[in-house]
Homo-oligomer: A and B are copies of this chain.
Amino acid sequence: MTRPVLHDYWRSSASYRVRIALNLLGIDYQATTVNLLTGAHRAAENLAVNPQGLVPTLEIDGQALTQSLAIIEYLHETNQPASTLMPADAAGRHRVRALSHAIAMEIHPICNLSVANHVAEITGGGDEAKAAWMRTFIGKGLTGLERMLDDPRTGRFCHGDTPTLADLCLVPQMYNARRWGVDLAAMPKLVAIDAACTEMEAFAAAHPDRIGPPA
Contact = CB atoms under 8 A, between A and B. Distances in A.
Contacts of A109: 105-106, 109-110
Interface string A168-211: 00000000000000000000000000000000000000000000
B119 A93 contact: no
A145 B101 CA distance: 20
Interface string A105-140: 110111010010011001101000100010011000
A150 B101 CA distance: 26
A69 B148 contact: no
Given A51-B144, A73-B94, A136 B118 contact: yes
Q: Which has the most chain B C-beta neighbours within 10 Å: A54, A78, A91, A109?
A: A109
Most buried by B among A77, A105, A106, A110: A105
Interface string A61-94: 1010111011101100110000000000011011
A30 interface: no
Nearest to A63: B91
A97 B123 contact: no
A53 interface: yes
A119 B67 CA distance: 27
A104 interface: yes
Contacts of A53: 144
6 contacts: A47-B147, A67-B97, A71-B94, A110-B110, A122-B123, A122-B125
